[in-house]
Structure 1
Amino acid sequence: MGACVSTSSRSTRSSRSNGETVAHSFLGIGFCGQKRTKKTFSDHVYTLQNLHSIPNRIFTNGKSRASCIFTQQGRKGINQDAMVVWEDFMSEDAIFCGVFDGHGPHGHLVARKVRDALPVKLLSFLHSYQSRLNGSSKTCFKGNLKRSDGGDSEKDASAEEKLNVTWREAFLKSYKAMDKELRSHPNLDCFCSGSTAVTLVKQGSNLFMGYIGDSRAILGSKDSSDSMVAIQLTVDLKPDLPREAERIKRCKGRVFALQDEPEVSRVWLPFDDAPGLAMARAFGDFCLKDYGVISIPEFSHRILTERDQFIVLASDGVWDVLSNEEVVEIVSSSPSRASAARIVVDSAAREWKLKYPTSKMDDCAVVCLFLDGKMDSESDYEEQGFSSATLQSNHSGNAVESDDGQKSEPSLQRNFTVRSSDESDTYGRLPVEIEGNEETMAAEDQNWSGLEGVTRVNSLVQLPRFSEERP
């Protein structure tokens, strides 16, 4: 997916009220009291306008020093998944990873917007926190916090608790600011469009995660017998979770599944059989924000060990057909690390054809982060079907996209998960970066009709059983 950069002053600046850009210092986590010998974010100023020039940020199919990423369009139209890996995120030992799954008419634009803006907002809040900290105290929190075996357990527990509070606040505030920006965006209609998000920052041995929706992160680790095991790091925040369903119902939203897909619970308005959102938390989707759908992320912190090998983030197009254990097996047995994400997507595509032959395959996006920081050589990378030109474009030559959603009056349109050929032609004219074989697939997707099987997309739906308009 390409970059989606807003031209509004709101989205090209940090969250500071005076609108100035943020020159990031070490951001308070990990370098306090140490002599600064490595380059940190105090050497750079980042806004959404120059994201494409950041050398260690990738968002299209390719690899970085310690990761590989791959996305493939499904059979439902434009690819609405987005992903990003940003190395040297706030210091040279910090990496930001994220996968974003859009849904609705403008879901692909929402996903790209969140992919670009959310990490910058997270940096801004961390920087603001560090500024407050420096003004009131000399206390700091080590970014490479490890559990102690000695008598300093109370100090360690206190430091870990403060670290959790800091990062939790940063994730909560950045997610809140992201949703607020989407609500007031002048060129992007998010009334019936939205996106999931699964995001993490790895700094040293610490892993901080924030997530909404049903994109998922798992950890590949070795057990005591050196066998690979899968550990699920996030929870799929769907309406069928009791706590999520209870909140939605308290807000007068309705939760039920359709007869054709009884296993997929969806969120509906109290007064209309629309829109049918198959997740309980999301960015955007403002038609449901008064009825229980929220953008408040779940937060978690994990201390990594030497047994932990890699992390996989992926959209639900992967998890609908592959188990955690299968994905860990695929990644650990890949012929090269650079090909791991692509092989996971290829495996998911095969499973879609086998398990749901009458359904349209969902978009798939995968990020594989290897915790030892190592990657294959360039020759191994090229053997797997990637070119050095692709790699270089991810680092320095990314095309800059713009938000092209047109602002319109709020309306309860059903999503185009099921759509006519005329609607497909209109939808297909939205600009998108074509990657790999997606150009051929996109042409094919414009010809399918809406009744070729029940779609298993976790999105908004329009099904023929409901009348088009209600009084």
Structure 2
Amino acid sequence: MGGCVSTSSRRTSGSMGRREEVSPTCCDIGFCGQKRTKRTFSDHVIALHHLPSVPNRVFTNGKSRSSCIFTQQGRKGINQDAMIVWEDFMPEDVTFCGVFDGHGPHGHLVARKVRDALPLKLLSSMNSCQSRQNGSGQTCFKGSLKAADLDKDVSAEERLILLWREAFMKSYKAMDKELRSHPNLDCFCSGSTAVTIVKQGSNLFMGYIGDSRAVMGSKDNNDLMVAIQLTVDLKPDLPREAERIKRCKGRVFALQDEPEVCRVWLPFDDAPGLAMARAFGDFCLKEYGVISMPEFSHRLLTEKDQFIVLASDGVWDVLSNEEVVEIVSSAPSRSSAARMLVDSAAREWKLKYPTSKMDDCAVVCFFLDGKMDSESDYEEQGFSSATIQSYHSGNAGESDDSCHRSEPSLQRNFTVRPSEESEGFGNRRPHPEEFEGNEDTVAGEDQNWLGLEGVTRVNSLIQLPRFSEERPNP
């Protein structure tokens, strides 16, 4: 396995489709000295303005060599979910997968922006972290450490984990910073979750914020399929999350008409009522404990591990981990697994919450053996091998250009709470970034708190339309 990233290159032909001669700078895990046959970071840089056409990058309903993805609009308005599978993300068996659930008036734009930009920031961060650790332009890191390595006490696997941890932390921070300064995208009361994974050989690296979730289907010692939850739903009622928010003077409580859903509120206003403790965007709450720092974890995959399901909370609100794994493992074809899961979630919404509007659903089914159905099997399910199916909201092939459309500015809600409820608000509150320094905390004392209780029917209760009408293209 290996992964080379380079920010410098020299063109050998005027054609965009030709290979490039790449500088020797690389982040290489057991790959140095071998001939490159796959795309490198320099290729991705050139393709930044052509992301929808990048090979092996799937972001609308369809399939790749090892996965299928599907999304369906709920009944709340435009589909605010986004998803991606990017094979050949880095050379030699490296795949990136992600699901992003937007919320707020501009949540659909935030989710798409994160889907497009975050993977590239992760690549750049990985290259930067490796370069700094080695302290030279020749940044080759081999799988077997030698005496000349900077830290003789750290194994190759431990160093790889540290590299990816720092890359995830830096890329998530950079993503949120870009959203804050985006000239045409108002993220004051809009944001997005993110659950992202990188598979590199037998290593699985995960970074996530919000309440989208990753679950793995694996076989136990009796060869029976079991569900293993890989991520924690980072909701406000998670003890560690609630404590951070309260220290920053944010408020956490549930409304009387939905006591099962804890939300984050401003200290002086009953808004916006965010149903998650971490998110991209949502800058009205970033001073009051909501952060964008991801939880990071690593897992060593085995032959018993079969597939990974990433999905937005529209799926997890109505289906258990075990039900999801059962649906995927019993699908008539791997190509149809994601769509079957979304269809099952839609049926459960009608049964369990007939008076509630179904949430958007987005699913990525990633099969760890790298195999997919034959083309004929796939076409029988009504798909195409290319990513030709669009989102139900009609945004197939969209890119970051959608963020430049004219959008109305959000009006701040200045409702003031009674003075007695604001007492003590003048005291100094810790900035949320003070809590971001402890990157070693993954789950800690909350390891067993899975955040499965409660149903988030609406992610934000801001007193504004949940979405704004997109203007048709001229």
Measure the CA separation in 1 of the matches of 2:58 and 2:379: 17
On the 8 A contact 2:61/2:390 being kept in 1, the answer is no
Measure the CA separation in 2 of the matches of 1:274 and 1:297: 24
> Superposed, which structure 2 residues align to 1:441-452 within 5 Å?
none
Measure the CA separation in 2 of the matches of 1:77 and 1:248: 30
> Superposed, which structure 2 residues align to 1:228-377 within 5 Å?
228-377=225-374
Measure the CA separation in 2 of the matches of 1:88 and 1:392: 22
For the residue of structure 1 that corresponds to 2:155, the secondary structure is: helix
For the residue of structure 2 that corresponds to 1:220, the secondary structure is: strand
| Residues 1:463 and 1:128: Cα distance change in structure 2 (over 3 Å) | closer
Measure the CA separation in 2 of the matches of 1:37 and 1:284: 38
Cα shift readout 1:324-353 (whole Å, capped 9, x = no counterpart): 000000000000000000000000000000
Match of 1:160 in 2: 157
1:65 is the counterpart of 2:65 = yes
Match of 2:13 in 1: none
Match of 1:450 in 2: none
Match of 1:38 in 2: 37
Match of 2:136 in 1: 135
Cα shift readout 1:31-58 (whole Å, capped 9, x = no counterpart): 4434225324056142531212201101
Measure the CA separation in 2 of the matches of 1:194 and 1:405: 18
Match of 2:193 in 1: 196
Q: Partner letter of residue 290 of structure 1? A: E
Measure the CA separation in 2 of the matches of 1:219 and 1:68: 15
Deviation at 1:165, TM superposition (A): 1.2
Q: Partner letter of residue 297 of structure 1? A: P
| Residues 1:391 and 1:402: Cα distance change in structure 2 (over 3 Å) | closer
Measure the CA separation in 2 of the matches of 1:115 and 1:106: 14
Cα shift readout 1:428-461 (whole Å, capped 9, x = no counterpart): xxxxxxxxxxxxxxxxxxxxxxxxxx99434111
Cα shift readout 1:345-369 (whole Å, capped 9, x = no counterpart): 0000000000000000000000000
Measure the CA separation in 2 of the matches of 1:94 and 1:224: 28
For the residue of structure 2 that corresponds to 1:273, the secondary structure is: strand
Deviation at 1:26, TM superposition (A): 8.2
| Residues 1:365 and 1:219: Cα distance change in structure 2 (over 3 Å) | same
Match of 1:102 in 2: 102
CA RMSD in angstroms comes to 3.0
Match of 1:443 in 2: none
Deviation at 1:156, TM superposition (A): 10
| Residues 1:234 and 1:413: Cα distance change in structure 2 (over 3 Å) | farther
1:169 is the counterpart of 2:166 = yes
Measure the CA separation in 1 of the matches of 2:367 and 2:24: 26
On the 8 A contact 1:213/1:281 being kept in 2, the answer is yes
Match of 2:17 in 1: none
| Residues 1:374 and 1:134: Cα distance change in structure 2 (over 3 Å) | farther
Deviation at 1:398, TM superposition (A): 3.7
Task: Give % identity.
Answer: 74
Cα shift readout 1:40-93 (whole Å, capped 9, x = no counterpart): 405614253121220110100000000000000001000000000000001141
For the residue of structure 2 that corresponds to 1:247, the secondary structure is: helix
On the 8 A contact 1:179/1:295 being kept in 2, the answer is yes
Q: Partner letter of residue 120 of structure 1? A: L
Q: Partner letter of residue 186 of structure 1? A: P
Ranges in structure 2 where 5+ consecutive residues have no aligned partner:
1-5, 9-21, 146-150, 416-453, 465-474
Cα shift readout 1:171-195 (whole Å, capped 9, x = no counterpart): 0000000000000100000000000
Measure the CA separation in 2 of the matches of 1:53 and 1:379: 24
Q: Partner letter of residue 379 of structure 1? A: S
Cα shift readout 1:102-146 (whole Å, capped 9, x = no counterpart): 000000000000000000000111122333437177762539x9x
Measure the CA separation in 1 of the matches of 2:214 and 2:114: 18
Measure the CA separation in 1 of the matches of 2:414 and 2:229: 35
On the 8 A contact 1:187/1:407 being kept in 2, the answer is no
1:79 is the counterpart of 2:85 = no
On the 8 A contact 1:192/1:413 being kept in 2, the answer is no
Deviation at 1:164, TM superposition (A): 1.5
Measure the CA separation in 1 of the matches of 2:339 and 2:180: 34
Measure the CA separation in 2 of the matches of 1:27 and 1:113: 27
Match of 2:430 in 1: none
Match of 1:123 in 2: 123
Measure the CA separation in 1 of the matches of 2:113 and 2:361: 18
Measure the CA separation in 2 of the matches of 1:360 and 1:393: 22
Measure the CA separation in 2 of the matches of 1:57 and 1:271: 44
Q: Which is worse superposed, 44-53 or 454-463?
A: 454-463
Q: Partner letter of residue 251 of structure 1? A: C
On the 8 A contact 2:81/2:111 being kept in 1, the answer is yes
Measure the CA separation in 2 of the matches of 1:168 and 1:114: 19
Q: Partner letter of residue 90 of structure 1? A: M
Ranges in structure 1 where 5+ consecutive residues have no aligned partner:
1-13, 17-22, 146-153, 415-453, 465-471
| Residues 1:307 and 1:258: Cα distance change in structure 2 (over 3 Å) | same
For the residue of structure 2 that corresponds to 1:114, the secondary structure is: helix
Measure the CA separation in 1 of the matches of 2:349 and 2:49: 38
Q: Partner letter of residue 36 of structure 1? A: K
1:185 to 182, 186, 192: 182
Measure the CA separation in 2 of the matches of 1:125 and 1:463: 37
Measure the CA separation in 2 of the matches of 1:327 and 1:26: 42
For the residue of structure 1 that corresponds to 2:362, the secondary structure is: strand
Q: Partner letter of residue 80 of structure 2? A: Q
For the residue of structure 1 that corresponds to 2:65, the secondary structure is: coil
TM-score scaled by structure 1?
0.78
Q: Partner letter of residue 202 of structure 2? A: S
| Residues 1:32 and 1:385: Cα distance change in structure 2 (over 3 Å) | closer
For the residue of structure 2 that corresponds to 1:457, the secondary structure is: coil
Measure the CA separation in 2 of the matches of 1:141 and 1:457: 48
For the residue of structure 2 that corresponds to 1:89, the secondary structure is: strand
1:406 is the counterpart of 2:403 = no
Measure the CA separation in 2 of the matches of 1:207 and 1:183: 30
Q: Partner letter of residue 363 of structure 1? A: D
Q: Which is worse superposed, 121-130 or 109-118?
A: 121-130
